Amino acid sequence: MELVTIDDIRAAAGRIKGVAVRTPLVRMGEAWVKPESLQPVGAFKLRGAYNAVASLRPDGVVTHSSGNHGQALAFAAREFGVPCVVVVPEGAPRVKTAAIEGWGAEVVVVPPEQRETTAEKLAAERGLTLVPPYDHRAVIAGQGTVGLEIVEDLPDVEVVLVPVGGGGLASGVGTAVKALRPDVRVIGVEPELAADAVESLAVGRPVEWGAARTFRTIADGLRTALSELTFAHLSRRLDEIVTVSDDEIKAAMGHLARSARLVAEPSGAVTTAALLSGRVATGRTVAVLSGGNVDPELYRQVV
């Protein structure tokens, strides 16, 4: 299987320049936070989606998404003047589906287990190009620009913490960081209620927990399973994966608000939760805050 390279990621950086924000490293105590919540769509997903559309130049696109990738693809499609359809699972946060529609895309709501098959069906019926949320080399390369920027902005970084859902972000970040600084520890973080990646790496193959199990976690963006492509990247380029509880995620959201003045959705706060838990290696650490598209009522409750 052909893995993404540092050259792929550097090419992606050129394509997304001026579109995706080069997010700063924000000091939080003894660590730094990479706030991808500052992107125009509120999450890192813009990097991969825009790179994919810029590379493929399709006549129209479709995807399945819990919300953030859908927003990002809708944004990219609007920039290139092509139609976009986003299939979302029932129960997806309204703040995310409303934003997808706000960027001009059509939203199709289906049961969680039907999201991928529905997107594939729509692609065939309407002649659209399927741009999956993580199972695509161009998407992974775009997400890898996060890692590229971390090493450029903090050359003596020692630990990078990155959320793991479908694995696209962790695949790209791990690729970039390990290519530039092989000695840096890249640690994935996922909710303990959706810890399929931990199990996958333990048994040596992708394991899918299914919606009945993963939908228990508050971290809606991390409920998806690894693909063969992302598993191949993570098995080679992550040093370890740790898990955090939903209570730790909620506490981390509050900590980010008070200590770094940053808004984080649950999925984006998992890395800070791991940092606060003391389960990860110490050193000059960067925690990737993957997104800030949080339901206002939930945010009020936890912050």
pLDDT, tens digit (0-9, with 9 covering 90-100), for 186-219: 999 999 999 999 999 999 999 999 888 999 999 9
Q: What average pLDDT does the segment 48-64 reach?
A: 96
Cα–Cα distance, 176 to 174 (Å, whole number): 6
Residues belonging to the active site: 45, 290
Phi, psi of 107 (to 5 degrees): -105, 130
Partnered with residue 173 across adjacent β-strands are none
List C-alpha distances in Å: 194 to 209, 225, 251, 290: 7, 9, 18, 17
Q: How far is CA 5 from the centre of its chain?
A: 18
Q: What is the per-residue pLDDT for 211?
A: 85
Non-local (6+) Cβ contacts of 227 within 8 A are: 132, 134, 135, 166, 167, 206
CA distances from 95 to 37, 139, 252 (A): 14, 23, 21
- Which residue in this structure is represented by tokens 């919300």? 67
Residue 183 DSSP label: T
Q: Which residues pair with 130 in a beta bridge?
A: 62
| pLDDT tens digits along 127-145 | 999 999 999 999 999 999 9
User: Above 90 in pLDDT, residue 44?
Assistant: yes
The 10s digit of each residue's pLDDT in 74-117 is 999 999 999 999 999 998 888 889 999 999 999 999 998 899 99
Amino acid 227 reads: S
Q: What is the pTM of this model?
A: 0.94
Helices (H) and strands (E) in the chain, counts: 13, 10
Q: How many CB atoms lie within 10 A of CB 259?
A: 15
The helix/strand/coil state of 240 is: strand
User: Under a CB-based contact definition with an 8 Å cutoff, are residues 50 and 79 in contact?
Assistant: yes
- Give the residue from 259, 267, 240 showing the smallest Cα distance to 303: 259
Cα–Cα distance, 24 to 149 (Å, whole number): 9
Q: Give the DSSP H or E segment for 235.
A: helix 228-237
